Structure formats: C-alpha cells, structure tokens
Amino acid sequence: MKNPFFHYETETEELVLTEERVKEQNEIILWNDDVNTFQHVIETLVELCHHTPEQAEQCAFLVHYTGKCSVKKGEYAKLRPVCEAFLDRGLSATIE
C-alpha cells in the first residue's frame, strides 16, 4: 500500500536512435558539355577509370545523348582524386 504522504514521480528517459546510412558506394558522374571532343573524353576514361576503349566510347555516347553517365563506383576517398583529375582535364564530373 502506498503511503499517502509521499508523492512518487517516475521519470522515463527515452533514448531515440537515428540511423544514418553512410553511403558505402559512391559514383563519379560525368556530365555532358559542348566543349570536349569524344576523343578527349574516351582517352580520359581509359586513363583515369581504366575502361577499355569500347567501354569508354559507350560512356562517351551516353554522356552525349543522355547528359550524364556513371563512370566509376567506389568509396568516396578513392573516387575524389579521380574526380579531381577529370576536372583538371576540363571535364565536368561530380561524386554522388
């Protein structure tokens, strides 16, 4: 039996966990422009992404006709220098 002279309060502490999904796979997106030639894009893809010439040509056509193409996937830290190299060569690229 509870004592009527004491007032009991119960505090409930609620822990709310939020889950933040860290992207394990990022990708370099190569964007279309009106400046660079197909040959330059193909040579750069072969050099930086180690694409075969055929694969690089297909990516170049995708970039030209659809406006963009995912050209390399991986961890952000590994993609960043590759993306910067695209930019240094005058191509438009982002990591998403």
**Rounded distance, CA 60 to CA 92, Å?**
12
- pLDDT by residue (tens digit) across 42-96? 999 999 999 999 999 999 999 999 999 999 999 999 999 999 999 999 999 999 9
Q: What is the 3-state composition of the chain as percent helix, strand, coil, each rounded to the nearest 5?
A: 40, 20, 40
The number of CA neighbours under 13 Å toward the Cβ of 64 is 14
Burial class for 77, CB neighbours closer than 10 Å (0-12, 13-18, 19+): exposed
- Phi (first) and psi of residue 43, to 5 degrees: -60, -40
Average pLDDT over residues 10-28: 65
